[in-house]
């Protein structure tokens, strides 16, 4: 028997015939015609290789096979019913669920504190697990249920994903408060003469800042290239390196900030999810919570 070829609705018919011991009464209870019930029973008999019911003067009596599977059938139908009920509504106050989010350490630092605070008030039974992700495999991992939401730049556009804008982050130049440039108006020449720390999840390639400088025909000296924003903050705090990073980072550090002396395209983050979860109430609720957290940290 191929379960993937079996219509689960047949088990609804099976359960009702078992309850009513009658094809006609089962048809009435399920609001189906008697021929339709008989056809469904015939299909299930063929699939399971057993008569399932024997017509007697006392009605349709189950065979030993029917008696042996009815408990599992009802348990399975009950589970499907509960899943359907949970899908139809999501109550954050009573939900007991773990959501899995994928984002980099900057998104974690900005989004998770306000998100967790909101959850503690609105959804005490909901838990969050957060993961770093590799952009090369992020789409496949999202499609295979490794996580529920992905926060990243809008570089993903497969048909299987849903997505929407989450936040736009302008850049600021960050430096330690004892830096000689703190009290000055930072110019392009001073910026280029300085050495810099650069954060990127990639091992090579230009980021937003270097793309902007390239358009001007300029380049900067990157003394240190790392992948972690928190580490970059500590390096900047203890050196004379400049760090050009999204503006909200400043609130997480003791660093001074200056406006960049040239135009930099803002950093944009989107939310991504599986397209099949587009109308899932739990996913919709989670998306709204993450968007509220994004508003809180801007």
The CATH number given to whatever domain includes residue 29 is: 1.10.10.10
pLDDT at 183 (0 to 100): 87
Please indicate, yes or no, whether residues 178 and 257 belong to a single structural domain of this protein: yes
| Residues 182, 175 contacting (CB under 8 angstroms) | yes
Closest CA to 144 of 281, 276, 291, 279: 276
62 Cα distance to chain centroid? 46
Please indicate, yes or no, whether residues 176 and 247 belong to a single structural domain of this protein: yes
Could you say which of 60, 88, 116 is where a domain stops? 88
pLDDT in tens, 77-128: 877 766 655 555 788 998 888 999 999 889 999 999 999 999 999 999 999 9
CA 10 vs CA 41, 45, 65, 89, 173: distances in Å: 7, 10, 16, 26, 66
Please give the residue range of the domain that contains residue 124.
Answer: 97-168+268-297
Please indicate, yes or no, whether residues 47 and 133 belong to a single structural domain of this protein: no
Please indicate, yes or no, whether residues 251 and 289 belong to a single structural domain of this protein: no
Please indicate, yes or no, whether residues 146 and 277 belong to a single structural domain of this protein: yes
Could you say which of 88, 121, 136 is where a domain stops? 88
Please indicate, yes or no, whether residues 183 and 102 belong to a single structural domain of this protein: no
How many Å apart are CA 141 and CA 87, to the nearest integer? 22
Mean pLDDT of the chain: 89
CA 67 vs CA 53, 61, 89, 222: distances in Å: 10, 10, 34, 74
pLDDT at 175 (0 to 100): 96
Please indicate, yes or no, whether residues 151 and 215 belong to a single structural domain of this protein: no
How many Å apart are CA 160 and CA 275, to the nearest integer? 5
Is the pTM of the predicted complex or chain greater than 0.95? Answer: no
211 pLDDT above the threshold of 90? yes
pLDDT at 298 (0 to 100): 78
Please indicate, yes or no, whether residues 109 and 152 belong to a single structural domain of this protein: yes
How many Å apart are CA 53 and CA 50, to the nearest integer? 9
- Burial pattern 124-162, b for ≥16 Cβ within 10 A else e, equals eebebebeebeeeebbebbeeeebbbbbbeeeeeeeebe
Please indicate, yes or no, whether residues 122 and 257 belong to a single structural domain of this protein: no
Closest CA to 290 of 169, 151, 98, 153: 151
CATH assignment at residue 274: 3.40.190.10
219 pLDDT above the threshold of 80? yes
**How many domains in the chain?**
3
60 Cα distance to chain centroid? 49
Could you say which of 42, 64, 88 is where a domain stops? 88
297 pLDDT above the threshold of 80? yes
Q: How many CB atoms are located within 10 Å of the residue 180 CB?
A: 10
> Which tokens go with 213?
């400088």
Provide CB contacts within 8 A for 181, sequence distance 6+: 175, 190, 194, 242, 258
Please indicate, yes or no, whether residues 7 and 81 belong to a single structural domain of this protein: yes
- Burial pattern 17-52, b for ≥16 Cβ within 10 A else e, equals bbebbbbebbbeebebeeeebbebbeebbeebeeeb
pLDDT in tens, 163-201: 999 999 999 999 999 999 998 889 999 999 999 999 987
Please indicate, yes or no, whether residues 127 and 81 belong to a single structural domain of this protein: no
Please indicate, yes or no, whether residues 175 and 258 belong to a single structural domain of this protein: yes
């Amino acid at each position: 028997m191929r379960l993937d070829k079996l219509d689960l609705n047949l088990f609804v018919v099976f359960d009702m015939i078992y309850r009513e011991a009658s094809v006609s009464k089962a048809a009435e209870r399920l609001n189906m015609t008697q021929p339709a019930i008989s056809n469904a029973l015939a299909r299930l008999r063929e699939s399971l290789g057993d008569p399932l019911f024997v017509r007697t003067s006392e009605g349709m009596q189950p065979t030993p096979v029917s008696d042996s599977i009815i408990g599992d059938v009802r348990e399975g139908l009950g589970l499907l019913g509960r899943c359907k009920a949970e899908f139809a509504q999501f109550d954050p106050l009573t939900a007991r669920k773990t959501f899995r989010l994928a984002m980099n350490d900057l998104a974690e630092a900005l989004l998770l504190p306000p998100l967790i605070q909101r959850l503690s008030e609105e959804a005490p039974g909901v838990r969050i697990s957060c993961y770093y992700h590799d952009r090369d495999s992020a789409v496949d991992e999202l499609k295979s249920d490794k996580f529920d939401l992905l926060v990243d730049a809008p570089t993903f556009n497969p048909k299987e994903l849903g997505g929407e804008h989450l936040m736009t982050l302008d850049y600021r130049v960050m430096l330690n408060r004892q830096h000689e440039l703190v009290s000055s108006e930072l110019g392009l020449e001073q910026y280029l003469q300085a050495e810099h720390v650069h954060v990127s999840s990639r091992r090579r390639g230009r980021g937003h800042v270097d793309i902007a400088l390239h358009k001007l025909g300029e380049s900067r000296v990157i003394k240190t290239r790392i992948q972690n924003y928190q580490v970059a903050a500590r390096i900047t705090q203890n050196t004379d390196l400049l760090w050009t990073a999204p503006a909200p980072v400043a609130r997480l550090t003791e660093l001074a900030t200056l406006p960049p002396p040239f135009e930099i395209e803002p950093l944009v983050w989107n939310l991504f999810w599986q397209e099949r979860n587009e109308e899932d109430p739990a996913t919709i609720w989670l998306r709204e919570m993450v968007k509220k957290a994004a508003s809180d940290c801007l």
